[in-house]
Amino acid sequence: MQFTLGITGDLLTNEGNPCFGLQPLEALYKEKKILVEWMDPSIQILSEKETTKYDAILLNSPRLTKESINPKNNKVKIVSRFGVGYDSVDLDVLKKNKIILTNTPNAVRRPVAVASLTMILSLSGKLMIKDNLVREGRWNERTNHMGVGLINKTLGIVGFGGIGREFVKISKGLFKNIICYDPFVGKEEMKNLQVDKVDFDEIANSSDFLVILCDLNEKTRGMIDSTFLNKMKSSSYLINLSRGPVVNENHLIASLKQNKISGAGLDVMTNEPIEENNELLNLKNTILTPHSLCWTDECFDSIATEAITSILNYFNNNKIINRVV
């Protein structure tokens, strides 16, 4: 019996090629009973048209909501999320319909950790500002834009999961101290990586560079708000590589405009793509990237391989390692 896999079309380049290359797909093509199809790239929310057609879905940006699934004619058995986050997927509807959800936590650890460090180095070196000095013929203004050294600074991390730990490994030699807020990880576990566990107020008060790497859920949504931002140093920087709604964007904009913090590096926003009239676009003390700073050929090859492996494990009745529900 044919097993049909649908891959969301937003993973295709403008030329119609898989953005992660062809190699990860080879394992699928070896299975003669698996039919691989690409969905329409314009799909933003999955509908019954997709969930009644495919046995498995390799899902990137499109959302899966409760309206996506009709229990009477649903065909989907497994959804393999391309990436680590799954806030775009309605977990309740998957559970009710006994649909498996997987993600790719191992593939993104190093790339997101490197992207976090990229943001810090770009902000501390005032990279974007200095790039503009050259392009705008303002070379002699360089003395007005001195960078910020890291050797006596404190790195703060919100979220000590796989990405947070990887980030510590590649950056701990650059900072004087590393502190972390994560209510689900013990003090000794952090100590093993030379990280000091602190509470929510302390991470705000003491961080010179604060990197957000936690999951988005009802407890973390909007937790970086004006109350938190007002406790940060005026010389500090906020970096968000998790999900946009973890930060109250309006409160952050106000803090940046009033110079309550020195700057921000955001790879994620509340609304994606960012609105054309979003005030963040006019702020010179920000670096904004389109939720893709970690995207490299190596990263996407690893993510695709991990996501496809979960689908193949289901198809072959093998253990599914990265199961979320």
Q: Which residues form the catalytic set?
A: 243, 272, 291
Alpha carbon 117 to its chain's center: 14
Dist. CA 192–CA 69, nearest whole Å: 45
Do the Cβ atoms of 205 and 231 come closer than 8 Å? yes
Cβ atoms of 133 and 142 within 8 Å: the answer is yes
3-state secondary structure of 57: strand
To which residue do tokens 């979003």 refer? 278
- The most distant pair of C-alpha atoms in the chain lies apart, rounded to whole Å, by 70
**Residues near 323 by beta carbon (within 8 Å), at least 6 away in sequence:** 100, 101, 102, 310
The answer to whether residues 203 and 210 touch, using CB atoms and an 8 Å cutoff, is: yes
Neighbouring residues of 234: CB distance < 8 A, sequence distance ≥ 6 = 259, 260, 261, 262
In 3-state terms, what secondary structure has residue 40? Answer: coil
Task: Quote the CA–CA distance of 13 and 298 in Å, as a whole number.
Answer: 16
Q: Please state the separation of Cα 110 from the chain's center in Å.
A: 12
